[in-house]
Amino acid sequence: MSEPLLTTRDLTTAVGGPFELDVFAGQCLTIMGPSGVGKSLLLRALADLDPHGGEVWLQGARQSQTPPALWRRRVLYVPAAAGWWADTVSEHVAEIGKHINDLRALGLPLDCGDWPVTRLSSGEKQRLALLRAVTLTPQVLLLDEPTANLDADSGLAIEAWLAACKNRGTALVWVTHDAVQAERVADVRWGLDAHGLKRI
Amino acid sequence: MNESNPTVTYGALALASLLLLVHAGLSTAFGLKLARPLLIAAVRMFVQLSLLAVVLQWLFATESALATVLTILIMLGFASWETWRRIGRPLAGRRGVLVPGGAIAAAGLATLGYALLTQVSPQPWYAPRYSVPILGMILGSVMNAVALGIDSLTQNAWRERLNIEAQLAQGVPFTAATRRLVQRAMKTALMPTMNLMAATGLVMMPGMMTGQILTGTSPHEAIKYQMMIILLVAGATALAVFLAVVGTQRDLTDDRQRLRLDRLGAERN
């Protein structure tokens, strides 16, 4: 068996842990659990966005010894509610003209590059946030309910698009409340509750 | 000083106080409930300024270096405390006072030292007749600017946390992710001083210059003094705002370039 891409040991967040995880390249790992149990905090700790205990490695490189900006480009967190710091779509996705196929696959308007972000619906923004993240070619994508609040067809389109990313070698750590979705997309399923992280 | 200049008698002060009745009357007529706070504020003003007169009289007479240093330290302490009180969402704990206080002290003392050594040149160099009033005028403006700057940065960091974290998550360094907030905070803080410089002489007559003219100094001399003070205030304000805003920006992150909003205190109403 190959070496894991992302490994955690004794990882603790503000509300839970220690967590021991191994994530392999091209693998989709889903995490389910009740609200407030710390799923988002676990993803944020993996991305090093919050202070935490324990250690995380990416291909043998320690998180604490890797420059934070570099780490976060490699282990990229996509929150449930994305932030938009610039006005237009093209300011968020570099060379958006080269991503016509992605725009089409995600059901986004092909000419949206010059649009103000505010013109997009909340569902379109959610899909644009995924495209913005994937264009940075992370090794691990941390997805916090990426299809929440989307209609079924859009959700399935995103699943198919993310499956293509996975097939290119990106590891996905996917938080979801949808058990059917988890069964559909996951290679490995974990459940998180007050007692900790357990493989389902 | 013109020897024929009229002094302000206590009777004249009493007559001036009558104008407060207009204020109180309007407050009562419109139901503003400001009559009582107005009275308290007026009494405070009388008491504080009378005490200040006694302290300054003594300080100028003794010309003691130790007393001057103590006075300056007390002024800086009050300025730090008052600035902290004006910030809507200050840093939590001691840093909430130390960051603005450090910026105010560094900028105030550096500017005061520069003024005393190169422009005013009193004997002795620390002469309280010059150092204390000049520092007082510098602090009056610097306190306001520092409070505005820190408040803008912390409130906007809180409001725009999603945007900042979205950039951090994409590998943008913290300084770049917060650059616009820092620029906005500095502009907000420096704008009143810029407006003051632009409006002085046209829209309003500065109090210090007016005071000098009323006590017999020639307008030419009074204006030169006023210009020097405004330039000192502008320099000190810019330096203090830079130190305070950049210091607060540093406190809002850590060695892993995270956004540390947990280092902010609760919002004040």
Q: Are the C-beta atoms of residues A13 and A38 closer than 8 Å to each other?
A: yes
- Looking up tokens 């007050």 gives A194
Q: Are the C-beta atoms of residues A92 and A118 closer than 8 Å to each other?
A: no
Which of B163, B256, B259 to mutate against chain A (most A CBs within 10 Å)? B256
Interatomic CA distance for residues A195 and A191, integer angstroms: 10
Q: What single DSSP character describes residue A88?
A: B
Q: Are the C-beta atoms of residues B100 and B80 closer than 8 Å to each other?
A: yes
Q: What angle do CA B60, B65, B67 make, to 5 degrees?
A: 65
State how far residue A26 is from chain B, nearest Cα, in angstroms: 20
Mean pLDDT taken over chain A: 94
Buried b or exposed e, range A125-160, using 16+ CB within 10 angstroms: bbbbbbbbbbbbebbbbbbbbbbeebeeebbebbbe
CATH code, A6-81+129-145+158-199: 3.40.50.300
Please name the helix (run of DSSP H) or strand (run of DSSP E) that holds residue B242, with its range, or none. helix B219-251
Whole-complex ipTM: 0.94
Tell me the average pLDDT across A35-43. 95
Across the interface, of B166, B173, B254, the residue whose CB is closest to A83 is B166
Identify the three-state secondary structure at position A11.
strand
Query: What pLDDT is recorded for position B104?
Result: 98
pLDDT in tens, B86-139: 999 999 999 999 999 999 999 999 999 999 998 888 888 889 999 999 999 999
A131 interfaces chain B, CB cutoff of 8 Å: no
A133 interfaces chain B, CB cutoff of 8 Å: yes
Give φ, ψ of B124 to 5 degrees.
Answer: -65, 170
Across the interface, of B170, B173, B258, the residue whose CB is closest to A50 is B258
Residues of B near A (Cβ–Cβ under 8 Å) read 160-173, 177, 180, 254, 256-259
The count of CB pairs under 8 A between chains A and B is 61
Q: Would you call B164 and A83 a contact, using CB atoms and an 8 Å cutoff?
A: yes
pLDDT in tens, B46-87: 999 999 899 999 999 998 999 999 999 999 999 999 999 999
E-strand spans in chain A? 6-12, 19-23, 28-32, 53-58, 61-62, 75-78, 140-144, 171-175, 188-193, 196-199
Interatomic CA distance for residues B193 and B186, integer angstroms: 12
pLDDT in tens, B179-211: 999 999 999 999 999 988 888 877 777 877 888
Q: Where are the domains of chain B?
A: 1-62, 64-263
Q: Where are the domains of chain A?
A: 6-81+129-145+158-199
Interatomic CA distance for residues A68 and B168, integer angstroms: 9
Across the interface, of A64, A72, A84, the residue whose CB is closest to B168 is A72
